[in-house]
Amino acid sequence: MASVLEVHEGRPDSARWWNGRSVSLPLTIVAFLLGWEFSVRLLEVQTYILPTPSAVAWKVFQDFRTGTIVGDFAVTLIEVLCGFAIAAIAGIAIGSAIALVGFLERTIYPFILAIQTIPKIALAPLFLIWFGYGLQSKVLTAALIALFPILVNVISGMRTIDDRRILLMRSLNASSMTIFLKARLPSMLPHLFAGLEVGIIFSVMGAIVGEFIGSSRGLGCLIVQRQASVDVAGVFSVLVYLSFMGIGLNFVLRTITKRYAFWSRSGGAVGA
Amino acid sequence: MQAVVANSTLVRETPLIQVRDVSRVYAAADGKPVRAVDSASFSIAAGEFICILGPSGCGKSTLLMMIAGLLPPSGGSILFDGKPVDGPHDKFGMVFQDAVLFPWRTVQKNVELPHEVLGTAAPKRETIAKEMIDLVRLKGFESKYPHELSGGMQQRVSIARALSVQPALLLMDEPFGALDAMTREQMNLDVQRISIESKATVVFVTHSIVEAAFLSDRVLVMSGRPSTVRSIVDIDIPRPRRLEMMASDKLGSYVTKLRELLNETEGSHGQRS
């Protein structure tokens, strides 16, 4: 059970290179790109197998200049955000209910653990049948995949709450609702945000997979189209835009985490 | 608060708290019933400072939790102002061994918490919290977060929080047990000053004999498990008491007396502090 209930804790050290404190990472990237560029040129690898980074960069620029990618980017982003929003709301609600209501924990929780073992991506084709080729099937695929890391972290956050905080609230004669809003929910925030950070990346994955299986718009659809026309540099270009999306969303979440769960990483025996 | 004090001066015979033949039994891990507290009886007058002194794990915290209404007694009854205690009370303030501050709240917001729960209007609870922070001498730290404070300061915030509802009864469960000796002595002075200034009735659980003798009007000496009130010792030293008194003969004689009483209850494996 412990292995299924893996808790995604924050990784404080991974934020370091944003601050530009380390020069080793940019240097590594430059060295990697140069190595790629020259080995492709020297070994005369065909562009339909592996394009040079400069060709990819040109394509990225072209996609931006002609604006061909904007529509697809927007479609995928909407799918990701809608799916993520659904997953976050459902994750908080279901997770809280399971952690707080003994009956639900006995009935629903084993069921959820069982579903955990299914690769959720495998359900995407079913969603296509049920909800069609439009946005809905992608949004729901994204939501389903993003739901589990959020749900699992909410449950574990609810369970690991310091009992003394609850005792304090009870000594103040607080109602269950007040205890939930003023003690349980804020206590859980670091866990929730850890879950959301994983969830947003999973949501991107869900949307792309949904588009792979059947769609007429979106970055996933564009990858499939360009792959069909052996436009490998084009595929790489989409990957670059996808990583922009991922980094951007992750950055927004981290900023929110710093704002609302700042105390979880500030060290020390907080409130002990 | 005011009402309670006035009341008790008029009708001195009615104690603020009456504990009658209270016991507490719980099931141990193997299912066998364990008596934590057994037929404890005593009463507390309004304005008194009472220490419950006993060896670690003797059930004195359990007794405090029952007075606080956080734990129902298995037998006997507890009366507050003549009425049975059947749950937590708005007029009780609780201080735990750890400060139990919410790390996402500033000092100010932590102290406001009880009044938020009560639904007091924001301007009023802000004013009250400021007064309480002033009372525990933490003025200037209102916008700090708990992790920015030392252990002693955190505990003072939790005392301010407990006092913010102007409690008729302040219940303190080994509040300074986790602090170093120097800070602890300072906190003892502070808690004496605060109890005099706020006129609150205080029930203070400790396993430190010196702390009990220094702070109390009366000390309840508890026996080991199952815990019961072995004896009640009046500490007849005028207030305010000063730290120099810790080395005085008078306090020393009380300490000796309390230690003897504790050792009697403990037998050969005497626990001290």
Q: Determine how β-strand B201-206 pairs with β-strand B17-27.
A: unpaired
**Amino acid symbol at A270:** V
pLDDT bin (cut points 50, 70, 90) of residue A13 is: low
Per-residue model confidence as pLDDT tens digits over B65-120: 999 999 999 989 999 988 899 889 888 999 999 999 999 999 999 999 999 999 99
Distances in whole angstroms, Cα of residue A177 to Cα of each of A92, A150, A152, A169, B134: 15, 22, 22, 11, 31
- The answer, yes or no, to whether residue B5 has pLDDT greater than 70, is no
**% of residues, chain B, pLDDT over 70:** 92
**CA B140 to centroid of chain Cα atoms:** 27
Q: Which of A164, A186, A268 sits opposite B100 (nearest CB)?
A: A164
Nearest residue on chain B to A259, alpha-carbon basis = B104
A191 within 8 A of A137, measured Cβ to Cβ: no
pLDDT bin (cut points 50, 70, 90) of residue A16 is: low
pLDDT bin (cut points 50, 70, 90) of residue A258 is: confident
B135 within 8 A of B194, measured Cβ to Cβ: yes
Structure confidence at residue A271 (pLDDT): 30
CATH class of A51-264: mainly alpha
Distances in whole angstroms, Cα of residue B97 to Cα of each of A7, A121, B63, B151, B180: 30, 50, 15, 11, 13
Residues in chain B whose Cβ is within 8 Å of chain A:
68, 70, 87-90, 92, 94, 96, 98-104, 113-114, 116-118, 145-147, 154
Per-residue model confidence as pLDDT tens digits over B171-186: 999 999 888 888 888 8
Q: Which residues contact B259 (CB under 8 A, 6 or more apart)?
A: B209, B272
Q: Which residues contact B252 (CB under 8 A, 6 or more apart)?
A: none
Q: Which of B92, B98, B113 sits opposite A272 (nearest CB)?
A: B98
Structure confidence at residue A265 (pLDDT): 56
How far does the CA of residue B237 sit from the closest CA of chain A (Å)?
Answer: 33
DSSP label at residue A182? I
Label each residue of A226-241 as H, E or C: HHHCCCHHHHHHHHHH
Structure confidence at residue B9 (pLDDT): 45
Per-residue model confidence as pLDDT tens digits over A130-166: 998 888 999 999 999 999 999 999 998 988 888 999 9
Give per-residue burial for A48-70: e unless 16+ CB within 10 Å, then b: eebbbbebbbebbeebeeeeebe
How far does the CA of residue B56 sit from the closest CA of chain A (Å)?
Answer: 19
Q: Does A259 touch chain B (CB under 8 A)?
A: no
The first and second tokens of residue B23, run together, are 């016991």
**CA A169 to centroid of chain Cα atoms:** 34
Q: Which of A167, A173, A268 sits opposite B147 (nearest CB)?
A: A268
Residue B185: how many other CB atoms lie within 10 Å: 17
How far does the CA of residue A7 sit from the closest CA of chain B (Å)?
Answer: 21
CATH number of this structure's domain B2-91+168-266, picked from the four choices 3.10.20.70, 1.10.10.970, 2.60.40.1080, 3.40.50.300: 3.40.50.300
Measured distance CA(A175)–CA(A167) in Å, rounded:
12
Mean pLDDT of B54-69: 87
Measured distance CA(B56)–CA(B217) in Å, rounded:
22
- The answer, yes or no, to whether residue A120 has pLDDT greater than 90, is no
Q: Please, where are the H alpha helices in B79-169?
A: 107-118, 122-135, 151-163
Nearest residue on chain A to B98, alpha-carbon basis = A272
A185-213 and A219-228 are packed helices; what angle lies between their axes, rounded to 10 degrees? 30
In this complex, do A164 and B94 lie within 8 Å of one another by their Cβ atoms? no
Count of CB contacts below 8 A, A vs B?
67
In this complex, do A263 and B87 lie within 8 Å of one another by their Cβ atoms? no
Long-range own/partner contacts, residues B261-268 (CB < 8 A, 24 or more apart): B261/B221, B261/B230, B261/B231, B261/B233, B262/B53, B262/B54, B262/B55, B262/B209, B262/B221, B264/B230, B265/B54, B265/B55, B265/B221, B265/B222, B265/B223, B265/B224, B265/B230, B266/B55, B266/B224
- The answer, yes or no, to whether residue B16 has pLDDT greater than 70, is yes
- The answer, yes or no, to whether residue A46 has pLDDT greater than 50, is yes
Q: Can you tell me whether residue B24 is helix, strand or coil?
A: strand
Per-residue model confidence as pLDDT tens digits over B220-266: 998 877 888 889 999 988 888 888 888 888 888 999 999 998 887 66
pLDDT bin (cut points 50, 70, 90) of residue A19 is: low
Report CA dihedral (A129, A132, A138, A139) to the nearest 10 degrees: -110
pTM exceeding the 0.80 threshold for the entire prediction: no
pLDDT bin (cut points 50, 70, 90) of residue A104 is: confident
- The answer, yes or no, to whether residue A14 has pLDDT greater than 70, is no
Measured distance CA(A196)–CA(A203) in Å, rounded:
10
pLDDT bin (cut points 50, 70, 90) of residue B203 is: very high
The first and second tokens of residue B27, run together, are 């099931």
Domains of chain B, by residue range, sit at: 2-91+168-266, 101-165
More reliable by pLDDT, A222 or A261: A222
Structure confidence at residue A5 (pLDDT): 42
Domains of chain A, by residue range, sit at: 19-50, 51-264
pLDDT bin (cut points 50, 70, 90) of residue A21 is: low
Per-residue model confidence as pLDDT tens digits over A75-94: 999 999 999 999 999 999 99
B203 within 8 A of B42, measured Cβ to Cβ: no
More reliable by pLDDT, B3 or A259: A259
Q: What integer best gives the mean pLDDT of chain B? A: 87
